[in-house]
Copies of this chain bind each other. A is one copy, B any other.
Amino acid sequence: MPGIKDVARLADVSVSTVSYVLSGKRSISAKTTDRVMQAIEQLGYTPDASGQRLRGRRNHIIALSEPIRKDMNQAQYSAYFMQAAFQARKAGYDVLLLGAEDAVSDIQRVTRGNLVDGVVLLDVMENDSRAAAADTFAKPSVAIGYPHVHEACACIDIDFTALGEIASRKLYDLGHRRVALLRSLEVNYQRGVGYMLLFRDSFLKHCAKLGIKVIESEEVTINFNAERFVHEVVLGPEAPTAIVSQSNADILNIVFDTLGNLGVRVPQDLSIISCGTYMQGEMPRYPVSELPLDPEGLCCKIIDVLVDSIENKRDIRGLVELTEPQYIDRGSLGLAASAPRKGGDNKRM
């Protein structure tokens, strides 16, 4: 393994000259530059990472903390860390994946040991031990999410309170006064996945204010029967004119299938809107209008903020940035149906 000294010797210059040629932090004559570059190629020289970070105090590594859980929706979270990794690379940073049981001590270890320059917290819950312990990390940290305790880290997320309001407003303006809320997997609420709770609370509150009646689905577990949900709730006595879904593409597919079999047209007879979901990462078989999550946009912003903090030593503790939700119209949300539902008495099933 050739070192910088070997290069210097071969090019007949000093080590500092080689270093300056590589970094460009000093102007070096073209002739010298040529000789050095030639020596580097000839020897196949690559600087050793440990030496590089000795001086600069920067590793160009960002830690990504993702607590390992059996029940995690892998499809969804992988979108976040692939995006975060991609954006980090664009900014010139490698990504260290942390997934140990004890996330807090893991982050302490890599930040205090100067192994990483900063930390991204993924899959953040309302009561997140990592966010709460962020003051014990020796490097800046950013959470995707909005935990209760966040004095020592930055928080970046979609504004899910606004999302609940926008959704209720949109339904109201289209004339909907009775809507069904299709819940997400129960385990998410129980675990305290912040955004799902935030959206639901905000949505229910604003619906109450606007006079929209919300009929909630029963708790969605792994054995949830989406067909029965359609028959009992959607076609039930309360006759909602829209479904607001927090659920995943699999369940939504069954809902669409069931409605199709019953001859219920979307959106003429019934509107559907999906909120706080990310259908691009799943496989919906029917287009559904959405107030979606935004892994790409968020990760882009998160890395921006973190890198800025690292490189310009900006203090980002306590920073909170909630971005405006963006509605995507895919044609499943329309005016509230007033006439009796076509095919409503179709007994095919």
Contacts and interface: CB of A to CB of B under 8 A. Distances in A.
Interface string A74-111: 11011101100110010000111111100000001110
A287 interface: no
Contact of A82 (B48, B74, B94, B114): B74
A94 B94 contact: no
A6 interface: no
Given A46-B113, A48-B114, A52-B113, 11 more contacts: A44-B112, A46-B109, A49-B114, A51-B54, A61-B96, A68-B86, A74-B78, A75-B78, A97-B97, A250-B253, A254-B285
24 contacts: A1-B138, A48-B114, A49-B113, A50-B50, A50-B53, A51-B54, A64-B97, A74-B75, A74-B78, A77-B78, A78-B81, A81-B97, A86-B99, A89-B99, A94-B96, A94-B97, A94-B98, A94-B115, A96-B96, A96-B97, A97-B97, A253-B253, A254-B285, A348-B348
Contact of A97 (B74, B95, B113): B95
A318 interface: no
Contacts of A95: 96-97, 99
Interface string A115-140: 10000000000000000000000100
Interface residues of A, number: 50
A293 to B, nearest CB: 14
Contacts of A1: 112, 138
Contacts of A82: 66, 68, 74, 99
A78 B295 CA distance: 15
Contact of A283 (B46, B49, B113, B250): B250
Contacts of A52: 113
A70 to B, nearest CB: 10
